[in-house]
Copies of this chain bind each other. A is one copy, B any other.
């Protein structure tokens, strides 16, 4: 249950007493991720999904399913990756969403986000534009997901 901890943190901020993240908060996020049963990746791209599943396996997490939805419209918004992730929140009953796409304006590079069932951001990772880093899609996605999980202590 993240809600109890979020409420406490919100109250701290209202009172001007918030001093940054607490160990228990990050631990609750780790628990949420580790207990996920249904993981969804919006935008059915075979390669992207395989890379994600290879990495999830290393962390002891269940396989993600691809969501067959056209996400092109997300690329006409201010935050394409967040918009894609929310498409999956709104059209599935997944516990966890892993979306990958553009960070911001065209040319701004990529982002991978880990979102919970209510659309809250649990973790993320950012890469340079592919024309700058020159990595394969698979390599970039695997690194981003690894980073996004490890930064929380997983």
Please give, as numbers and ranges, the residues of chain B lying within 8 Å of A5 by CB-CB distance. 106-107
Contact: A20 with B119, CB < 8 Å? no
Contact pick for A130, options B16, B21, B129, CB 8 Å = B21
Contact residues on A (Cβ < 8 Å of other chain), bracket: 35 or more
Given A21-B106, A105-B121, CB of A75 within 8 Å of CB of B126: no
Binding-face segment, A23-31, A45-53, A57-65 = A23-31
Contact: A72 with B29, CB < 8 Å? no
Interface string of A1-27 (1 = CB under 8 A from B): 010011011100110101011111111
Given A103-B121, A152-B132, CB of A10 within 8 Å of CB of B126: no
Contact pick for A75, options B9, B25, B128, CB 8 Å = B9
Given A126-B125, A129-B152, A132-B152, CB of A21 within 8 Å of CB of B108: yes
